[in-house]
Structure 1
């Protein structure tokens, strides 16, 4: 699954977005997150946002889909739940879906017409620049290709699992959810891997303005809240007094205390 948003033709409604201005015109296209944004395209995008009252990006849904958190009442097979998570992730990066959710106000639409840009093209630039911003904020020590390779091993197992989630024990359900968190890691890392170096240079040059104009989820490290997943967190449990052996250990998501501790703090 690779969220790429590109188009080789202009939308039919593009003809309505003309400014009647002199000088060289920028022919906008619907960008993919793996495509370079030119300085002229960035200036056009920046001009639209700067013309808005608060000089901020219009509100759009967060691109950071949370890790899976299924209740044990879910009767679907695990593979179907994984498929649903993938579909939900793709929706968060869908140019068409996001464009339909943009606020409709005269000032914003006037700015689009002035720059000869459609709502879809504006959204694609937003996502392309946002992906570059998050890539720039990502811990450079992360080997993204290795992370994807490791995560896909877990995801492959889950996509073949036809077990109904509701049939699992508490312990097994927790194991599956821990494993399913790798899907979130893989999807976010794949976005980062698509960002071209030219876009990284562009957002670094304009970082201060972008940080002020963009929402936090498009400026921060998208893997920061998944560190425990990438470091293979263990499954916590509590030994019951009457158990006497590991065979009788009981564990429940309702009573477990789940957290993290740094190595430095432990020693």
Structure 2
């Protein structure tokens, strides 16, 4: 009889656990396949937040490096420091502590049987997929990681103390150190499955109000290397003349309008001799 009572209470206990299962603590990461059900769950939560506004979340990507010119670390040390700062800050203690005080979010998460870490992982995965969705082809991202890694490797060879360098050289090093940020962003987006980007694009209009501002546009646009992309600026001086003083006519047989072909260039050079 005692054994039967024991079995009865065990069954009751298990039944009670089934009604209130423990929170599943597996956290979604941006390189993992995102499911439509997970996107729906995320939308269900954020849609019921006060004013349908997300709590303050970390930035997805680190900013460009900004080093004080009097830094006493070596160039190599500063680059290493920058590499570390570009690591994911999504699950930092400050962020977790702040979300722990968000009562409405915690109530909604409890209803969905989700932890704060799970919510953050889902938010990061969806936002990273939105960033990746700006790139139909991956050649640009691969090129950035390849070329940028070369620049980073070269900077890591520099043992000089940064503050001891001439100011123009310091600014040039800071410009080159921006490759750390570019490579970090490109590498992160390359790891995102194309299926995730497609899923976010499919529901983009619904997701857009709940995406971070930084993923609403191409994350690489505002961090291009202006010197490499646009070339070095130059100064016009009286000794070489000014562009504004140039005179030409489209009727001039030597004038080439639009993009010149190799044949046109060769003909022009022959006539100019």
Q: TM-score range by the shorter chain?
A: 0.7 to 0.9
| Aligned with residue 155 of structure 1, among 152, 156, 164 | 152
CA distance in 1, matches of 2:84, 2:151: 18
Q: 1:144 to 1:123 in 2, by over 3 A?
A: same
CA distance in 2, matches of 1:240, 1:76: 40
Q: 1:19 to 1:159 in 2, by over 3 A?
A: farther
CA distance in 2, matches of 1:90, 1:50: 30
| Aligned with residue 109 of structure 1, among 91, 96, 106 | 106
CA distance in 1, matches of 2:48, 2:167: 53
Q: Which moved more, 1:208-217 or 1:139-148?
A: 139-148
Q: Which moved more, 1:31-40 or 1:94-103?
A: 94-103
Q: 1:129 to 1:77 in 2, by over 3 A?
A: same
Q: 1:19 to 1:105 in 2, by over 3 A?
A: farther
For the pair 1:42 / 2:73, whether they are aligned, the reply is no
CA distance in 2, matches of 1:104, 1:19: 28
Q: After TM superposition, list the pairs within 5 Å mapping 1:25-104 onto structure 2.
A: 29-94=26-91, 98-102=95-99, 104=101
- TM-score for both structures, normalised by structure 2: 0.72
CA distance in 1, matches of 2:230, 2:126: 32
Q: 1:142 to 1:231 in 2, by over 3 A?
A: farther
| Aligned with residue 196 of structure 1, among 163, 174, 193 | 193
Cα displacement string for residues 32-77 of structure 1 (whole angstroms, at most 9, x for unaligned residues): 1100121222221111111101223211122232211212111111
CA distance in 2, matches of 1:26, 1:106: 17
Q: CA deviation at 1:137?
A: 2.4
For the pair 1:208 / 2:205, whether they are aligned, the reply is yes
Q: 1:198 to 1:224 in 2, by over 3 A?
A: same
Which structure dedicates a bigger proportion of its chain to helix? 2
Instruction: Report the aligned-residue RMSD.
Output: 3.0
Give the structure 1 partner of residue 162 of structure 2: 165
CA distance in 2, matches of 1:221, 1:88: 21
Q: Which moved more, 1:123-132 or 1:51-60?
A: 51-60
Q: CA deviation at 1:146?
A: 1.5
Whether the 8 Å CA contact 2:100–2:106 is kept in 1: the answer is no
Could you list the runs of 5+ residues in structure 2 that have no partner in the other structure? Answer: 1-16, 239-257, 259-273
Could you list the runs of 5+ residues in structure 1 that have no partner in the other structure? Answer: 1-17, 242-263
CA distance in 2, matches of 1:160, 1:125: 38
Whether the 8 Å CA contact 2:28–2:121 is kept in 1: the answer is yes
CA distance in 1, matches of 2:192, 2:19: 34
For the pair 1:174 / 2:171, whether they are aligned, the reply is yes
Q: CA deviation at 1:125?
A: 0.7
Q: CA deviation at 1:228?
A: 3.1
Count of matched residue pairs: 224
Q: CA deviation at 1:118?
A: 0.6
Q: CA deviation at 1:27?
A: 5.1
Which structure: larger Rg? 2
